[in-house]
Amino acid sequence: MEDQEMQLKVKRVTDKFTESMYLLANEPSVALYRLQEHVRRSLPELVQHKTDMQSWEEQSQGAIYTVEYACSAVKSMTNSSLYFKSIDGLLRQAISMKEQIVASQGRSSSETSPSPIPPVTPPHLSSTSP
């Protein structure tokens, strides 16, 4: 009986040992196979996401450049108000000088022949400052 019992125990030990060896031998390869399978399935989707992200990045870089350019244009417009005021003053001086020239020419021509119509200044030029 002991011999039979011993054989049963030896068989159990060898079976467990064989099963353990089988699991140790095959488990890493199964894990690697599953990993490879996962990568093969998910890689095309990841590549598509990457290309989409690159496209969105290019579009947003273009939009950022456009916004920065618009901001700089607005800033330069606000800085140009000083130049427009200077141009306004110079135009007013030029109009005043032209009126003086016309008036002096009118006086010189009126000395030779009297003019029935006096020179008229436009209403928008009659004010001196805004």
61, 87, 103 from 56: Cα distances, Å: 8, 45, 67
Domain that holds residue 49: 2-81
Residue with tokens 């093969």: 40
Residue at 103 is within a domain = no
Count of residues for the chain? 130
User: Does residue 74 lie within any of the structural domains?
Assistant: yes
Q: Which residue has the tokens 């990045």?
A: 57
Q: What is the pLDDT of residues 19-34, one digit of tens each?
A: 888 877 777 777 788 8
Question: Taking a C-beta distance cutoff of 8 angstroms, is the pair 106, 120 a contact?
Answer: no
Q: How many domains does the chain have?
A: 1
Query: Does residue 35 lie within any of the structural domains?
Result: yes
Report yes or no on 38 lying in a domain.
Answer: yes
pLDDT, one tens digit per residue, over 41-70 is 999 999 999 999 999 999 999 999 999 999
Tell me the average pLDDT of the chain. Answer: 84
Residue 86 forms part of a structural domain: no
Whether 130 shows a pLDDT value over 50: the answer reads no
Q: Is residue 37 part of a domain?
A: yes
Whether 107 is in a domain gets the answer: no
